Amino acid sequence: MSDVSPYAVPAIVLITVATLAIGAFGYRISRNTSDFLVASRTVSPRLNASAISGEYLSAASFLGVAGLIMTYGVDMLWYPVGFTAGYLAMLLYVAAPLRRSGAYTLPDFAQARLRSTWVRALATGFVVLIGWLYLVPQLQGAGLTLSTVTGAPAWVGAVVVGVVVTLNVAVGGMRSITFVQAFQYWVKLTAIAFPAMVLLLVWFHRDGAPPPPAPAEWVVPLAGLPGEHPLFATYSLILATFLGTMGLPHVLVRFYTNPDGRAARTTTLVVLGMLGVFYLFPTVYGALGRIYVPELLGEDNADAVVLVLPGAAVGGLPGDLLSGLVAAGAFAAFLSTSSGLLVSVSGVLSTDVLGRWSGSHGSVRDFRRSAMVAGIVPLVLALQAGGLSLSTVVGLAFAVAASTFCPLLVLGIWWRRLTPVGAGAGLLVGGGLSGAAVLLTVLGPPLDGWPGALLAQPAAWTVPAAFAVMVLVSLATPGRVPVDVGRTMVQLHAPERLRLPQR
Amino acid sequence: MDEQPPQRVRVVLAGGERRPRPEAAAREIEEQTPVGEVLVRGLIRTQLALALRVSLLVGLLFGVQPVLFALYPGAARTEVLGLPLPWLLLGLLAYPVVFGIAWAYVRAAERNERHFTDLVNRS
């Protein structure tokens, strides 16, 4: 970009240093997991909801959604709607029972419910896969942001965020800091909402509210989508986002910090409100971007619209200041989401892989080594992958989550007859099919027609396949239903105020 | 959030020394007697039915939109409040609608749990 705001780099440095500082401070006051867990029981639903929202609003939400809306139009509104409604599905089927299960991670849940170590191992594998898939676009977004505001090559930003987050997590900074993530939500909301309101004012008062110059297929649903089967793509995207949220590893961990099942419900409700407010704004950037920065459309980097638009539309010192603000917000998004993901991935790597290997069962040293591995792999992938839009890759991560952990959680919580064999088979089929579709989409040759449509948005067939396999194989192996399923069900569903003695 | 006079929920941590004796029915649940089993199964069925009903509502509200606009492209061009209808529905109204449904669900789910607790404590 030609005009660079002089405030962008200082703003990015400021937000990074603030994050590291709060992280370091938190490390001093909470040294081990049990400190964290005890403290967590006092976290109020509102603080917890800010933390969940802060961790959840990623590069895809902050930059990607606006870019997609600007390029493709109204159909892309399904992304933010789905990212939000995913918490509704979580509320309906998962939130309270999961908190009551006492499981801290998805592998913990799998083992507690099914009493099977190999299902646990499978779940671990998919946590790592989904975490990495979700980390790649965060790092790409960081590269894009830094190259947009400074003109540096794209790999610089990815390396900066990758290294900062990895070191921070390895040192223990972000581990337990609900407060940091909560702070990041308000940073991001301010950074997207305030410039958006200024932009709307400028558009309305100074320029007389011109309509966005756009062809009809941008305004009307199903006309502007790439590919030949827009209706299928839309439904598949709806299914992936509505059902995928509950399977994201970094989301689930935060539910453990609720004091009880009831608080878990309240927290989810507040999250829905917070996300709803945030997602009103990317649309503003997408629509106004058509008016003020149409040159982004041709260049295949519409993801930068949020960063460039304030400077282009407002101009002068106010424009520079607003550009600095959105750049800081974008970095807050990369830092918080990647930290959350990295903590989850290195957590399961250290307890389930390294710990088991070395026999030390998740020591702090294992956690640090895992954080290094967990951070370097997506960094390498991010440097290799190019050309895919941020929200597309995130959408694929949602599809894998919806095809694996959604059936595991929903059937595990509500269906007594689920067996370890059935759950494992379903995970393998759902994860294998959706994972293969992701690989072919990202690495394979471009495909047309139905094969292309089915692979680009796989959820519509991989989610039902996973559910069907889990149910059918479980019915075929009735002897393998865990003997203590009755007790588990009581624990998952009985309200805490019954004061049942906990196990 | 509704800030009604807070109804205190006592959370009893495992290992507390002075835990009140579980009520008779609560003990039946805990010990997996046939009566307890029936009680918990009833609660699970009620909560699942509620969740499925809400899902059906959400599925209808959102699921019909793509098909509707595919079948009646004219509807997609209608402008309401200066915005094309699909933009208004997805860009603006979707969020308060989802929040409202979630709020109603939370109230209903907690009512179900209250009934269950009352039932257990009475028996």
User: Which among A196-205, A352-361, A378-387 has the top mean pLDDT?
Assistant: A196-205
**Burial degree of A204 (CB within 10 A; 0-12, 13-18, 19+):** exposed
Beta-bridge partner residues of B80: B83
Q: Decide if A46 and B110 are in contact by the 8 Å CB cutoff.
A: no
- What is the topology classification, in CATH, of domain A8-387? Sodium/glucose cotransporter (1.20.1730)
Chain B touched by A238 (CB under 8 Å): yes
Best residue of A277, A490, A492, A496 to probe chain B, by most B CBs closer than 10 Å: A490
Residue B51's domain comprises 45-122
pLDDT at A34: 46
Q: Decide if B40 and A489 are in contact by the 8 Å CB cutoff.
A: yes
Q: Which residue has the higher pLDDT, B28 or A401?
A: A401
Question: What residue of A is the nearest CA neighbor of B89?
Answer: A77
Question: What residue of A is the nearest CA neighbor of B82?
Answer: A211
User: Which residues from A are below 8 Å from B14, CB to CB?
Assistant: 501-503
Task: Give the DSSP per-residue string, A50-64.
Answer: HHHHHHH--HIIIII
Q: What angle do CA A150, A325, A181 make, to 5 degrees?
A: 110
Q: Decide if A262 and B9 are in contact by the 8 Å CB cutoff.
A: yes
Q: What token pair was written down for A282? A: 């990317």
Cα A401 from Cα A316, distance rounded (Å): 44
Q: Which residue has the higher pLDDT, A48 or A430?
A: A430
Give me the phi and psi of B83, to 5 degrees please: -115, 145
Question: What residue of B is the nearest CA neighbor of A413?
Answer: B44
pLDDT one-digit tens code per residue, A340-353: 888 888 888 887 77
pLDDT at A315: 81
Q: Decide if B32 and A487 are in contact by the 8 Å CB cutoff.
A: yes
Judged by CB atoms within 8 Å, which residues 461-500 of A form the interface with B?
486-487, 489-490, 493-500
Judged by CB atoms within 8 Å, which residues 7-46 of A form the interface with B?
41, 45-46
Best residue of B35, B44, B103 to probe chain A, by most A CBs closer than 10 Å: B44
In the three-class reduction of DSSP (H, G, I as helix; E, B as strand; rest coil), residue B79 is classed as strand
Q: How far is CA B114 from the centre of its chain?
A: 13
Nearest residue to A80 via CA among A96, A102, A63: A63
Mean pLDDT score, A482-492: 87
User: Which residues from B are below 8 Å from A77, CB to CB?
Assistant: 86-87, 90-91, 94
Tell whether B6 is covered by a domain.
Answer: no
Residue A355: pLDDT band (50, 70, 90) is low
pLDDT one-digit tens code per residue, A17-58: 887 777 666 655 555 554 444 444 567 888 889 988 988 998
Nearest CA distance, B100 vs chain A (angstrom): 9
Strands (E), A19-76: none
Nearest to B69 among A221, A283, A503 (CB): A221
Tell whether B13 is covered by a domain.
Answer: no
Q: How many CB pairs under 8 A join A and B?
A: 156
Q: Decide if B32 and A269 are in contact by the 8 Å CB cutoff.
A: no
pLDDT at A384 over 90: no
Q: Which residue has the higher pLDDT, A293 or B50?
A: B50
pLDDT at A417 over 90: yes
**What residues have CB less than 8 Å from A382, skipping those under 6 apart?**
A135, A136, A137, A139, A140, A143, A158, A162
A457-492: buried (b, 16+ CB within 10 Å) or exposed (e) per residue? Answer: bbbbbbbebbbebbbebbeeeeebbbeebbebbbbb
Nearest to A269 among B22, B44, B103 (CB): B103
pLDDT at B34: 67
User: Which residues from A are below 8 Å from B102, CB to CB?
Assistant: 87-88, 91, 268-269, 272
Q: What is the DSSP letter of B82?
A: T
Any idea where the domains of chain A sit in the sequence?
A: 8-387
The bridge status of strand B79-80 relative to strand B83-84 is: antiparallel
Chain B touched by A217 (CB under 8 Å): no
Tell whether B69 is covered by a domain.
Answer: yes
Q: How many domains would you assign to chain B?
A: 1
pLDDT one-digit tens code per residue, A192-238: 999 999 999 988 888 877 887 777 778 777 776 766 788 888 899 99
Q: Decide if B47 and A279 are in contact by the 8 Å CB cutoff.
A: no
pLDDT one-digit tens code per residue, A87-146: 999 999 999 999 888 887 888 899 999 999 999 999 999 999 999 888 888 888 888 888
Amino acid letter, residue B75 = A
Give me the phi and psi of A62, to 5 degrees please: -75, -40
Tell whether B9 is covered by a domain.
Answer: no
B73-101: buried (b, 16+ CB within 10 Å) or exposed (e) per residue? Answer: eeebeeeeeeebbbbbbbbeebbebbbeb
Four-residue CA torsion sign, A432, A433, A436, A438 = negative
Judged by CB atoms within 8 Å, which residues 152-211 of A form the interface with B?
none
Give me the phi and psi of A102, to 5 degrees please: 75, 5
Chain B touched by A344 (CB under 8 Å): no
**Owner of token pair 């459309």:** A297
Cα B35 from Cα B33, distance rounded (Å): 5
Tell whether B36 is covered by a domain.
Answer: no
In the three-class reduction of DSSP (H, G, I as helix; E, B as strand; rest coil), residue A43 is classed as coil
Range in A8-22, A184-198, A325-339 the model is least confident about: A8-22
**What residues have CB less than 8 Å from A118, skipping those under 6 apart?**
A420, A424
| N-term to C-term CA, chain A | 60
pLDDT at B61: 94
Chain A touched by B20 (CB under 8 Å): yes
Secondary structure element (H or E) that encloses residue A467, with its range: helix A459-476
User: Which residues from A are below 8 Å from B109, CB to CB?
Assistant: 96, 265
